[in-house]
């Protein structure tokens, strides 16, 4: 009987630890902040989540960068997602880059067509849904305009100088 209770307690503790270590509230708070104010202009932010393919991509073969999406959740079991758009990655096979590999006769793309090379140079297919720790600098396009031409509610941004590792 004691063994049964001990096993139950260990299982409950293990599940609780997994849930709490999977919490990602800081990333969600950061995403909400960058989408609602300019406080993060030229600041480096850190997020934990998954890269996702952009909703549209056009590659002429001359593009040196690609705008990727990065998805964060409040915790591992959450269905609520927050998508960070315009995460600018260099195209190629160097560290912290993205490679878009699609046959010429293929019309549609999926995550299977995207690979990233993390800060360690490891090649990872995005279809594996790997979680990454990403850092990058936030820049708001509206703040590049003269002050009298700015829209105070336009929080369009790009995240540049991106580095990431598997979490």
Reported as a single tens digit per residue, the pLDDT across 17-29 is: 444 334 467 999 9
Q: How far apart are the first and last CA of the chain?
A: 39
Distance CA 91, CA 116 (A): 9
Query: Residue 106: its pLDDT value, please?
Result: 85
User: What one-character DSSP code corresponds to residue 153?
Assistant: T
> Is 62 in contact with 46 (CB distance < 8 Å)?
no
Query: Which residues, including other chains, have CB under 8 Å from residue 83's CB and lie 6 or more apart?
Result: 52, 69, 70, 71
Query: Residue 30: its pLDDT value, please?
Result: 94
Question: Minimal CA–CA distance to 119: which of 138, 136, 137, 102?
Answer: 136
Domains identified in the chain and CATH numbers: 24-166 (2.40.50)
66-70, 78-82, 130-134: least confidently modelled range: 78-82
Distance CA 45, CA 70 (A): 13
- Pull the structure tokens for residue 149: 């031409």
Distance CA 123, CA 126 (A): 10
Task: Give the tens place of pLDDT for each residue, 46-78.
Answer: 999 999 988 766 655 678 999 999 999 887 677
The pTM (predicted TM-score) of the whole model is 0.80
- Most confident listed range (57-66, 85-94, 103-112): 85-94
Query: Residue 63: its pLDDT value, please?
Result: 81
- DSSP states along 13-62: HHHHHHHHHT--HHHHHHHHHHTT-STTTT-EEEEEEEEE--S-----S-
């Amino acid at each position: 009987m004691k063994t049964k209770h001990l096993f139950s307690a260990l299982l409950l503790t293990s599940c609780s630890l997994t849930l709490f270590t999977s919490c990602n509230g800081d990333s969600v708070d950061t995403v909400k902040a960058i989408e609602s104010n300019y406080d993060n202009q030229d600041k480096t932010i850190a997020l934990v989540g998954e890269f996702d393919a952009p909703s549209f991509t056009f590659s002429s073969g001359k593009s040196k960068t690609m705008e990727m999406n990065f998805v964060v959740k409040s915790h591992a079991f959450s269905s609520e997602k927050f998508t960070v758009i315009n995460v600018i990655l260099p195209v190629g096979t160097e560290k912290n880059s993205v490679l878009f590999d699609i046959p010429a006769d293929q019309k549609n793309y999926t995550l299977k067509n995207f690979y990233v090379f993390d800060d360690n140079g490891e090649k990872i297919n995005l279809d594996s849904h790997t979680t990454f720790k990403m850092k990058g600098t936030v820049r708001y396009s509206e703040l590049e305009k003269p002050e009298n031409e700015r829209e105070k509610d336009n929080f369009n941004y790009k995240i540049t100088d991106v580095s990431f590792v598997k979490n």
